[in-house]
């Protein structure tokens, strides 16, 4: 067993990975053949992995993704117009580094939410902070914070997110005031961080959804230019899978 005071100090310094690796080295007969530098390198590597895994777990918990999705499990067999090359390019997360946006459109059940969560999950794995919002819930939070005076705090929080996911925009009717609040969110993030929107409605119909032409123009201006567009087509995947059962 490792010396207890040493373990206590290592844990106090949050060197849990070192503690785990030391215990494994103590039990391994092969350790004796390694040099001090080799053993030290193994300890450092284990601590690095422990820290990275812990940080990723924190990011994933903070993101509150609606579905446990990952880009490796995306289904390209279902005929919905999804190109593997596009997703593989976006999975590199260079679009996040450049503060670009993404808009995913398509009818219900074609996998918009899964795709959005998969890209957000990959962003978390790559060290970015992501946050998922179901659009109606985001509008409710904006309205509530406007009413209790905490809107500036919410806006500051959203402005610090590397990838903000707004799922199902337009699914429920929102007020003009709520869309103005959304515009303020997007304005704070414009050209600095990325926003991913999913919607059953293509951007050409967003003026109809928003109602106010001026606000609609401003929202589109902050989202569309240089954005990655993914237009999913075809029948619901739920319906397709139901036929297979």
Across the range 79-108, mean pLDDT stands at: 92
According to DSSP, residue 223 is labeled H
Q: Sign (positive/negative) of CA torsion 58, 63, 66, 70? A: negative
**Range of weakest confidence among 15-19, 76-80, 234-238:** 234-238
Helices 213-223 and 176-189, axial angle in degrees (round to 10): 30
Rounded-to-integer distance, Cα 213 and Cα 205, Å? 11
Q: Give the mean model confidence (pLDDT) for residues 2-15.
A: 79
- Tell me the domain boundaries of the chain: 4-62, 64-244
CATH topology of domain 64-244: Rossmann fold (3.40.50)
The model's pLDDT over 129-184, given as tens digits with 9 standing for 90+, comes to: 999 999 999 999 999 998 999 999 999 999 999 999 999 999 888 999 999 999 99
The per-residue pLDDT for 38 is 79
């Amino acid at each position: 067993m490792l010396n207890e005071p040493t373990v206590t100090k290592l844990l106090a310094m949050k060197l849990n990975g070192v503690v785990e690796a030391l215990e494994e080295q103590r039990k391994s007969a092969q350790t004796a053949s390694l040099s001090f530098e080799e053993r030290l390198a193994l300890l450092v590597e284990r601590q690095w992995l422990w820290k990275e895994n812990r940080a990723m777990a924190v990011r994933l918990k903070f993101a509150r993704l609606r579905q446990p999705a990952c880009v490796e499990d995306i289904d390209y067999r279902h005929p919905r117009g999804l190109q593997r090359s596009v997703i593989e390019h976006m999975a590199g997360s260079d679009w996040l580094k450049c503060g670009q946006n993404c808009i995913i459109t398509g009818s219900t059940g074609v996998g918009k939410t899964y795709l959005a969560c998969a890209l957000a999950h990959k962003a978390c794995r790559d060290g970015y902070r992501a946050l998922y919002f179901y659009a109606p819930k985001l509008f409710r939070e904006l309205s509530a914070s406007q009413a209790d005076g905490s809107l500036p705090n919410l806006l500051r929080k959203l402005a610090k997110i590397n990838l903000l996911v707004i799922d199902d925009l337009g699914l429920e009717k929102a007020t003009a005031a709520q869309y103005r609040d959304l515009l303020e969110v997007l304005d704070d993030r414009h050209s600095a961080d990325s926003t991913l929107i999913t919607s059953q409605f293509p951007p050409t119909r967003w003026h109809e959804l928003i109602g106010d032409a001026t606000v609609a123009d401003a929202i589109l201006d902050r989202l569309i230019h240089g954005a990655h567009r993914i237009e999913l087509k075809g029948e619901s995947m739920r319906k397709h899978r139901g036929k297979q059962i």
